[in-house]
Amino acid sequence: MSTNKLRTLSVTGIVVSLLIAAGSAWAHDDDYGYARRYRHPHRRAVVVMPPPVVAYGYPARPVYYAPPPPVYYAPAPAYYEPPPVYVPAPAYYAAPPVAYAPLGAIGGAVAGAAIGSGFGHGDRRVAAIAIGSVVGAFVGDSLARGR
């Protein structure tokens, strides 16, 4: 689109929008000029009517006045603090005894028997295996318990 054409369309759009906005300035008060001759702005019409006649068929009832009934209000709610709750002090118990599996003693006995059979010869081999098993069981158990 050329610059000249764009400028022309822009100016045309602005002019049309200003004319639409100014349309309310040309408005009138709906009389179009032909109803003005029937108006009399300086004269006011006065209508005089006789007062209405009211006829009652029954005499008026008597009116009795009494004091208003007493008003009773509910008592205001009383807010009480809840009673204190006493919680017993926590009881601390000792840890239950742990029953360890005798894996350290069994492993130590096997290792001690193997070492004892290596030192013993002949009839003394049986005694070396027995002593190695007992000593290995004590050492393995103490290592397993962390002593």
Tens of pLDDT, residue by residue over 86-130, are: 888 888 888 877 776 788 888 889 899 998 888 888 888 888 989
Q: In this predicted structure, what is the pLDDT of residue 64?
A: 87
Q: In this predicted structure, what is the pLDDT of residue 100?
A: 67
**pTM here?**
0.34
Q: Which of 98, 133, 108 is nearest to 119 (CA)?
A: 133
Question: Which amino acid is present at 129?
Answer: I
31 C-beta neighbours (distance < 10 Å), count: 9
Rounded distance between C-alpha atoms, residue 100 and residue 4, angstroms: 101
Q: For the chain, how big is the Rg over CA atoms in Å?
A: 60
Distances (CA, A) of 121 to 80, 124, 125: 92, 6, 5
